[in-house]
Structure 1
Amino acid sequence: MTRPDRRVKPRNLSESNAEIIEQFIDSLWLEKGLSKHTLSAYRTDLSKFAEFLKVNQGASELCDIQGGDINHYLAQRYEQGFSERSTARFLSSLRAFFKWLHEQQMREDNPLSLIHNPKLSKPLPKVISEAQVQDLLEAPLYEEDSVQLRDKAMLELLYASGLRVSELIGLSLNQVSLQQGLIRVTGKGNKERLVPMGELAIEWINEFLRKGRPDLLKGRSDILFPSSRGTMMTRQTFWHRIKYYAQKANIDSRILSPHTLRHAFATHLLNHGADLRAVQMLLGHSDLSTTQIYTHIATERLQKLVTEHHPRG
Structure 2
Amino acid sequence: MGGDRVLIDRFLEMMAAEAGAARNTVAAYRTDLSLASATLGGTLAEADAAAIGRLADGWATLAKSTVARKASALRRFYAFLAEEGLRADDPGSALPRPGTSRPLPRTLSGGDIEAMFAAIDVRIARVPPDRNDLRLSALFELLYGSGLRATELVSLPRGAIVSDRPYLILKGKGGRERMVPLSDRARAAVVRWRAHVPAASPWLFPSGKSHLSRMRLYQVVRALAGEAGIPPDRISPHVLRHAFATHLLEGGADLRALQAMLGHADIATTEIYTHVDASRLVRLVSELHPLIDAGRTRP
Q: TM-score, normalised by structure 2?
A: 0.64
Aligned length: 250
Cross-structure match for 1:222 = 202
Aligned counterpart in structure 1 of residue 139 of structure 2, from 142, 154, 157: 154
- Relative distance call for 1:174 and 1:87 in structure 2 (3 A) is closer
What residue identity is the alignment partner of 1:264?
A: A
Q: Which contiguous aligned blocks of 4+ residues in structure 1 show a shift greater than 4 angstroms?
A: 26-35, 37-43, 65-71, 86-95, 110-115, 300-307
Tell me if structure 1 keeps the 8 A contact 2:144–2:243. Answer: yes
Other structure's SS at 1:183 match: strand
Sort the Cα spacing of 1:30 and 1:256 in 2 relative to 1 into closer, same or farther, 3 A: farther
Gap change, CA 1:256 and 1:195, over 3 Å in 2:
same
Deviations 1:155-196 (A, max 9, x none): 012211111111111112332121122222121222222222
1:250 matched to 2:250? The reply is no
Structure 2 unmatched runs, 5+ = 10-26, 41-47, 76-89, 287-299
Rounded to whole Å, the distance in 1 between the matches of 2:55 and 2:181 is 53
| SS across alignment from 2:153 | helix
Residue of structure 2 in register with 1:99 after alignment: none
Contact 1:42 1:93 in 2 (8 A): no
**Bigger radius of gyration, 1 or 2?**
1
Q: 5 Å matches for 1:1-313?
A: 83-85=63-65, 88=68, 116-140=96-120, 141-142=123-124, 143=126, 144-210=129-195, 213-214=196-197, 217=198, 220-227=200-207, 229=208, 231-300=210-279, 302-303=281-282
Counterparts of 1:186 and 1:300, CA distance in 2: 34
**What amino acid is aligned across from residue 168 of structure 1 in structure 2?**
L
What CA distance in whole angstroms lies between the structure 1 residues aligned with 2:70 and 2:265? 30
Aligned equivalents of 1:149, 1:278: Cα separation in 2: 30
TM superposition shift of 1:233: 0.8
What is the deviation of 1:41?
A: 7.9
In the other structure, the counterpart of 1:52 is none
- Partner of 1:194: helix, strand, or coil? strand
- Cα offset for 1:84? 2.8
2-structure distance, mates of 1:85, 1:268: 28
Partners of 1:288 and 1:163 lie apart in 2 by 17
| Structure 1 pair 40–66 and aligned structure 2 pair: CA distance change class (3 A) | closer
Q: Is the 8 A contact 1:175 1:185 kept in 2?
A: no
Secondary structure in 2 aligned to 1:174? Answer: coil
User: Share of identical aligned residues, percent?
Assistant: 35
In 1: Cα distance, 2:264 partner to 2:144 partner: 17
What amino acid maps onto 1:222 in structure 2? P
Go from structure 1 to structure 2 and tell me whether the alpha carbon gap of 1:111 and 1:193 turns closer, same or farther (over 3 Å shift): closer
Contact 1:181 1:196 in 2 (8 A): yes
Computed over aligned residues only, the root mean square deviation of the Cα atoms, in angstroms, reads 4.4
Q: CA deviation at 1:261?
A: 1.4
Preserved contact between residue 29 and residue 39 of structure 1 (Cα < 8 Å): no
Structure 1: state its 5+ residue gaps. Answer: 1-23, 47-62, 96-109, 308-313
**Of the two structures, which has the highest relative contact order with CA contacts closer than 8 Å and spacing of 6 or more?**
2
SS of structure 2 residue aligned to 1:274? coil
Q: 1:114 to 1:157 in 2, by over 3 A?
A: closer
Residues 32 and 70 of structure 2 are in contact (CA less than 8 Å); yes or no, is this contact kept in structure 1? Answer: no
How does the TM-score come out when normalised to structure 1? 0.61
Q: Is the 8 A contact 2:161 2:187 kept in 1?
A: no
Instruction: Quote the Cα distance in structure 1 between the aligned partners of 2:285 and 2:229.
Output: 27
Q: 1:39 to 1:264 in 2, by over 3 A?
A: same
Instruction: State how far apart, in whole Å, the 1-side matches of 2:194 and 2:236 are.
Output: 27
Give the whole-Å Cα distance in 1 for the aligned partners of 2:242 and 2:160.
23
Cα distance, 1:162–1:29 mapped onto 2, change above 3 Å: same
Distance 1:207 1:70, change over 3 A: closer
